[in-house]
Amino acid sequence: MRFNPALILLPLLAACASGGIVPPSSAPARPSPGYVPPTRIPTPPPTGEFRVPEILRAPGLEGVIQQDRSALIRQFGSPRLDVTEGDMRKLQFAGQACVLDIFLYPLRPGAEPVATYVESRRASDGREVDRAACVSALRR
């Protein structure tokens, strides 16, 4: 009986062809306490194209919407996050009650960005909360 070295490689090749690796458990991982889910940030238009942003109109947001960065800082203090992407700016304010994300966009080319959209969520678990209630809770 003759020994064939190719037979040793056959099980290894079969493992590669079938995937060979057992995937990890499909159970979702639990986020750590204080986890804040990522916010969807609208993507900017292609370079050279300007689009007038939509402005969120909702009761209780009158003192926030269309305010610039300086006015928002006077209302809420220093932001926890201040992110700029293209001509968009996102300010995040946080307190015991909630986290408030304010999105600022220029209303015309070259203009200073102003608040056009607001999102709010509980600081404890990231669940959505009433925007106006969050604004009231975070005001100085």
pLDDT digits (tens, 9 = 90+) for 30-70: 655 555 555 555 555 555 677 888 899 899 999 999 999 99
Domain range 51-140, CATH class: alpha beta
State in Å, rounded, how far the first CA of the chain is from the last one. 89
- CA-closest candidate to residue 58, choices 122, 119, 139: 119
In angstroms, the Cα distances linking 128 to 43, 73, 92, 121, 122 are 22, 23, 15, 4, 6
Show me where the domains of the chain are located: 51-140
Per the CB < 8 A criterion, the answer to whether 115 and 67 are in contact is yes
pTM (2 d.p.): 0.65
Per the CB < 8 A criterion, the answer to whether 104 and 68 are in contact is yes
